[in-house]
Amino acid sequence: MNTLMKWKDCVGAGWYSIVNEAVVAIEKHGGFIFQIKEKFGGLRIYTHGGDADAIDDIVREAERKASYVCEECGQPGRMESSPTGWYKTYCEKHHLDRESTW
């Protein structure tokens, strides 16, 4: 059983609604999710089975949406790199909070 609860520790709270919507849609099309994570500042969803064309569209749309949403709070955001080379998608506030720890 794939639910948001299973995947909520894999991404920040700002992406929960995007992930939940994708999980429900993927399961509706018979797909199985084997991994959800943040990688290089973007959302990644890995699936198996089901209606491949429909699921690919769902995954692509979820990943696109997340690229403009702060992973921490869900506000509009953008991807930036840190001085140490890590990429994250954050709003202005969370970018500034992050910069103070670099």
What's the CA gap between 7 and 1, in Å, rounded?
Answer: 11
Question: Which range marks the domain in which residue 52 is found?
Answer: 4-99
Residue partners of 66: CB distance under 8 A and separation at least 6: 15, 18, 42, 43, 89
**Is 73's pLDDT higher than 60?**
yes
Domains of the chain: total: 1
The per-residue pLDDT for range 23-63, each reduced to its tens digit, is 999 999 999 999 999 999 999 999 999 999 999 999 999 99
* Both structure tokens of 40: 């290089």
| DSSP states of the chain | ---HHHHTTTS-GGGHHHHHHHHHHHHHTT-EEEEEEEETTEEEEEEESS-HHHHHHHHHHHHHHHTTB-TTT-SB-EEEE-TTS-EEEE-HHHHHHHHTT-
**Is 1's pLDDT higher than 50?**
no
pTM, full prediction: 0.87
Supply the pLDDT for residue 2: 47
CA Rg, the chain, in Å?
A: 14
